[in-house]
Amino acid sequence: MAAFHFELVSPEKHLFSGEVESVVAPGADGQFTVLKDHAPVMTTLKAGVVTVSGGEGKVEKLFVRGGFADVNASGFTILAEQAIPLSEIDVAKVDADIRNAREDISDAKSDDARLAASDKLAQLQELRAAIGG
């Protein structure tokens, strides 16, 4: 397969830059895969896992919490709000965060607060599912 340029940046860090063969990203309207010579697309991302296949069976998975994806002729760029490589995530901490989020939902006094809390819970569950195990 032909390779193309992919970059993943978050405000705090430059996480990935290099030639890859395919990237799966969680678009706002569903997951999509980008291969070489993809038509130019710009889309927002929701929380989920970005899977980067670098060829020769090398696969890297990163969790992103929303952001933008920009595919153009010069390559594919993801501007993530926050991004963490899956290997660096602490499972126990995520579980604790999920418990906290559940409590937040039951404690929430206003609808807005409940909505915010359940958004957070959904993100965390997405993350938890991504780690598996």
Footprint of other proteins on residues 49-88 (CB under 8 A)? 68, 70, 72-74, 77, 79, 81-82
Of 27-35, 51-59, 88-96, 101-109, which part binds other proteins (CB under 8 A)? 27-35
From the list 19, 31, 41, 115, which residue makes contact with other proteins (rule: CB under 8 A)? 41
Name which position in 24, 27, 104, 126 contacts other proteins (CB under 8 A): 27
Is residue 115 involved in binding other proteins (CB under 8 A)?
no
Contact (CB, 8 A) for 78 and 42:
no
User: Judged by CB under 8 A, does residue 112 bind other proteins?
Assistant: no
22 binds other proteins (CB under 8 A): no
- 44 near other proteins (CB under 8 A): yes
Least distance (Å) between residue 43 CB and other proteins: 4
Cβ atoms 28, 42 nearer than 8 A: no
